[in-house]
Amino acid sequence: MLKNKRTLLSCMILAALVSGCGSDDNDTGGKDTPATELPYYAEWPQIDSPIKQDAAMEAEIASIVAQMTLEEKVGQMIQPNLTDVTPEEVAEYKLGSLLNGGGAWPNNNKYATAQEWADLANQYHQAAEQSWAGRGFRIPFIWATDAVHGHNNVFRATVFPHNIGLGAARNPDLIEEIGKATATEITATGLDWTFAPTVATPRDYRWGRVYEGYSEDPEVVYEYAGRMVEGLQNGADGIKGQENVISNVKHWVGDGGTRKGVDRGENHYSEEYLRNIHAVGYFSGLDAGAQVVMTSFNSWHDDANYDLWQDHPGVENGEYNKKLHGSKYMVQDVLKDKMGFDGLVVTDWNGHTEINGCSADNCPQAVLAGNDIFMVTARQDWQGFYHNVIAQVNSGLIPMERIDDAVTRILRVKMRAGLWEKPSPVNRTNAGNQSLLGHPEHRALAREAVSQSLVLLKNEDKVLPLKKNSQFLLTGSAANDITKQTGGWTLTWQGDGNTIEDDFPGAQTMKLALEELVGEENVFTDTAQADPETTVAIVVIGEDPYAEMMGDIKDNQTLEYASIKSHYAADLAKIQELKYLGYKVVTIMYSGRPLYVNEEINLSDAFVAAWLPGTEAGGITDVLFKQNGAKFSGKLSYSWPKMKCSTTINRHAPNLEGYEYQDGEQDITDGAEHQPLFPYGYGLDYSGKTEVPASESDLNALPLDPRNYGCGRDAPNEGVADSIMEVFSAAAAGEFLPYLQTEANGWGRTEITGSGVTDAGSITAERINYEHQFDALKVNYAGNDGEWEGRAAAEVMMHTASDGPEDYYPYLNAKSSLQFDVRVIDYSPDEKLTVSIHHEGGWGELDVSNIMPEQGHPDWQTIKIPLACFQQAGTDFASLTRAFNMYSYDNVEIDIGKIRLVPEDLNEGAEPLSCADL
């Protein structure tokens, strides 16, 4: 069972102490057993929220709704993204809310202050207020944000460990304190609502959102969800005040149980298991008073999830793909009716578009299913959605009762949050208080959270704790990389494009934390400076940052860390080198999920799972050096794989007797193939004790899995590619990174970040929505005019993430084509527009001027060019560096969507061009 730590608050009182209170290695660390255990739910339970309906409030809501026009009601249901709505539009459409996605900031300024956030919140609030003048009533505006591990979209805010690390801490009190600190920082920016906590129960480690879940087991999720809600909202009275925010449990329901861990994929769990594994976080979160539930992108494949169109004769009955956004059964029948949830349901980012028959601007199915607020992010889409819903109500397709229910719920949540009584955002208690962002007490709390989340997997001959009066060789890809520490959803959507110098003042990487503790003179980064006889090597390894979609491990991959991306192999090579040279090796691993690292563990004297700790690496050095009594207390909240394809080695949910494996899960009792190396609950302390043992007794001789092909395959491809390489798309696994390069800046590469506009001078690229969130680029070549005259040449490229050459000859052997989706906005060059594929030292280039789609055509079109054409032009696919490079000297504006290498056997639709066509 979970343990509660009661020492945190008393430790925080000590002003200078940031590493927690100490105790002997053999005590319990102040942890005691909670009074309750995870229940079994035979049926969907009735929610018992502390925030009850109030008769006077309900009467007031009903009075307002009765006075509203249909247009005013629909306006309350629309939630655009910050970048696609102005205060004037809020007033014109009487919109009820907005959100800021990852990478959206006031005035597109990543470094906006608390005051600038609050000032902009005030502009939207005041615009809404003025729009109600003369109506006899008013409805306050509200701003929502993804504050999922602290107020992580805001510069200088405290960045806490991601949920996967907090799950290892096994400390519900800590979770509530983090919720309180996060709420304080949110209110400093004048915002009202956070899309947190995530209460998924991830069951497949290939899912790119595993780190958003506290645990693979419902026990931890159930215990934590309510405490985070309590920290954010502070009960019925706290939510009315000016120092708390509205909490939002997400994503309803089952996103952690999709087949093969595919984001937005298919969940095939039985309803009993869906309820008892994937829904328990909602039960505790809603019982704590959470006022909002967000619908999930995934589908749930069960006959109970019926086609809602069956109640609408005359409407063409397309095949329902069982997406939760269109599930009247799960949203209306279960959540609202059976469970009695009386708050509001919000859709995810354009999630309604994934229902069969829907588009971004037209989806009556999602309204009828019971969703109340619609996250329709782009300007043309939310305006179209607004007009379409009005027309669909007037035609009788959507009943007015459904609209009234949605608006009643929206107003109820706004009233419960005291928005009618609160002053405008800029005049609230904490508004504009810059000192609250990254407040020292909050950073101390984050540092303590890091310490508690660390899990010691191996400690051979008790090489840990380390001694301060020693010398250290610090190396590894993550040793001084703040993005690997903080992960996705940190200032930007994917967590990329950030530096510690510009974006995280006061933060510490492992390098900075170690140097502060032992002195810069005792930290070496070059083996030539160090002596293995007197120096301990600390190797910090870790995944690059990623968020939804981009982080999925694909069918042609395994859980092996060193092969997920080619440049990760350098970390293993470094550990091998250091061990060969005779060093004691301490490996620290940052990751958003458990991964196969058997060889790394074999070669390490100590191995620490540090997850995604955020900005406070001092919490790691505190424990490594046992500062102020800090120690290892973290326990795995996810099983750790022994084999490369042990992808779903989940602990059996303790509330389900006689557990039966669900579709796609692996039997952990079936021999050694899927038995975890380190079971759920494993974690060494400094005395060498662990509550549950490893499945292997010798951690220096772990078996090495010889598999050299992906978990979705039965055999190697033997030199002929048998899967599509997603170079740039929502499904891309990160083998290639997008860059801009220009003549004006000396052909230096500028990485295109996960959201917003990247400006390289004579070329810019903006992330835009295509099939999914920010999965396309709007590229604008400035042309040979004005300041760029004579130096206008520029290109957008997809370069290998390893930064070096890679062998893509199997795609040439498979007679593949380069396929890319485009939409030409402005195209009238005097010189040719070219596409090339580069290899080390050269490239093959093709003129595509005559095959580009018509300028101004609104639809996307796919260009397909055989790789053989590039080979004929000079590309050596055995040492490929850029899978796509589009060059122009003149003014061109073009949207670029999916870029893929597609084997001939997997091509769909029109045949590729011939080389003669070019």
Strand 757-759 and strand 861-866: pairing? unpaired
Contact 264, 315 (CB under 8 A): no
Euclidean distance between CA atoms 875 and 806, whole angstroms: 13
Euclidean distance between CA atoms 896 and 902, whole angstroms: 17
**Cα angle value 20/24/27 (rounded, 5°):** 95
Sequence-distant (6+) residues with CB within 8 A of 178 are 150, 160, 166, 228, 231, 445, 446, 449
Phi, psi of 296 (to 5 degrees): -95, 150
Token pair in block for residue 493:
């959507």
Q: Using the CB atoms, write b or e for 255-272: b if 16+ within 10 Å.
A: bbbbbbbbbbbbbbbebe
- Return the sign of the alpha-carbon dihedral for residues 737, 743, 744, 747: positive
Euclidean distance between CA atoms 90 and 141, whole angstroms: 9
Euclidean distance between CA atoms 189 and 177, whole angstroms: 19
CA atoms within 13 A on the CB side of 10: 6
Euclidean distance between CA atoms 16 and 229, whole angstroms: 29
Euclidean distance between CA atoms 129 and 500, whole angstroms: 40
The answer to whether residue 665 is catalytic is no
Euclidean distance between CA atoms 806 and 696, whole angstroms: 35
Catalytic residue among 116, 219, 354, 548: 548
Euclidean distance between CA atoms 474 and 535, whole angstroms: 10
Task: Strands of 327-370 (E only): list them.
Answer: 344-346
Partners of residue 374 on adjacent β-strands: 78
Which is nearest to 600 in space by CA: 620, 579, 625? 579
Euclidean distance between CA atoms 656 and 38, whole angstroms: 10
Contact 114, 400 (CB under 8 A): no
Token pair in block for residue 502:
């510009």
The answer to whether residue 548 is catalytic is yes
Task: Tell whether omega for the bond before 197 is within 30 degrees of 0, i.e. cis.
Answer: yes
Phi, psi of 426 (to 5 degrees): -70, -15
Contact 480, 612 (CB under 8 A): no
Residue with tokens 């001694």: 467
SS3 (DSSP) at 255: helix
Euclidean distance between CA atoms 825 and 823, whole angstroms: 6
| Helix axes 55-67 and 400-416, enclosed angle (nearest 10) | 130
Which is nearest to 359 in space by CA: 859, 870, 832? 859
Neighbours of 715 (CB within 10 A): 8
First vs last C-alpha separation in the chain: 66
Token pair in block for residue 691:
């509550």
Euclidean distance between CA atoms 369 and 695, whole angstroms: 47
Which is nearest to 907 in space by CA: 830, 815, 828, 841? 815
Catalytic residue among 84, 119, 230, 348: 348
Euclidean distance between CA atoms 407 and 419, whole angstroms: 15
Residues serving a catalytic function are: 348, 548
